[in-house]
């Protein structure tokens, strides 16, 4: 076990594994902090890992864990409260970029939405059934409003 001094452990650990993605880890940490602090969602306690991965890697994860070899936007893995792990969110910036370009949306907002979507999965929201999807969309909209109001949406670039 790691001994901690007065410093609090980070809530969100950010791993940028996507070539060409530029981000500020502190902005991602702030987004999670704002969502946690608002209290609108039942977020699990513990450390949250957020990994930004390539299309190739998200397709591999999708194949390995969901038997679907196609790239997807975000995959969320639940944590283990016994070891103070809230979960892991794997996000694909390349999928966000492609979708944002096709739909003429802002890339940073789209990628932020993917992070929020993963966070909401860890809070108990699902999107398999149509009724669950509607509830997830409402929660996404609320979370984006909360983040915008706090000026906590991260800025991303993908070269």
For the entire predicted model, the pTM comes to 0.92
User: Is 2 part of a structural domain of the chain?
Assistant: no
User: Is 158 part of a structural domain of the chain?
Assistant: no
Neighbouring residues of 129: CB distance < 8 A, sequence distance ≥ 6? none
CATH number of the domain residue 147 falls in: 3.40.390.30
User: pLDDT tens digits, residue range 26-37?
Assistant: 999 999 999 999
User: Is 44 part of a structural domain of the chain?
Assistant: yes
User: Is 159 part of a structural domain of the chain?
Assistant: no
User: Is 7 part of a structural domain of the chain?
Assistant: no
C-alpha to C-alpha distance for 137 and 117, rounded to whole angstroms: 9
Exposed e or buried b per residue across 80-91, where buried means at least 16 C-beta atoms within 10 angstroms of its C-beta: eeeeebbbbbbb
Residues of the chain with pLDDT under 50: 1-6
C-alpha to C-alpha distance for 149 and 159, rounded to whole angstroms: 28
- Give the chain's domain count: 1
User: Is 103 part of a structural domain of the chain?
Assistant: yes
| Closest alpha carbon to 8 in 41, 35, 47 | 47
């Amino acid at each position: 076990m790691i001994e901690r001094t007065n410093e609090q452990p980070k809530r969100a650990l950010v791993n940028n594994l996507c070539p060409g993605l530029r981000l500020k880890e502190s902005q991602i940490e702030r987004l999670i902090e704002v969502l946690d602090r608002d209290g609108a969602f039942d977020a699990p306690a513990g450390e949250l890992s957020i990994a930004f991965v390539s299309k190739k890697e998200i397709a591999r994860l999708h194949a390995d864990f969901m038997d679907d070899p196609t790239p997807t936007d975000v995959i969320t893995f639940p944590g283990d409260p016994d070891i103070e792990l809230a979960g892991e969110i794997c996000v694909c910036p390349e999928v966000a970029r492609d979708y944002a370009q096709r739909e003429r949306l802002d890339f940073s907002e789209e990628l932020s939405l993917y992070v929020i979507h993963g966070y909401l999965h860890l809070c108990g929201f699902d999107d398999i059934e149509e009724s669950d999807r509607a509830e997830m969309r409402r929660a996404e909209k609320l979370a984006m409003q909360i983040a915008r109001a706090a000026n906590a949406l991260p800025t991303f670039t993908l070269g």
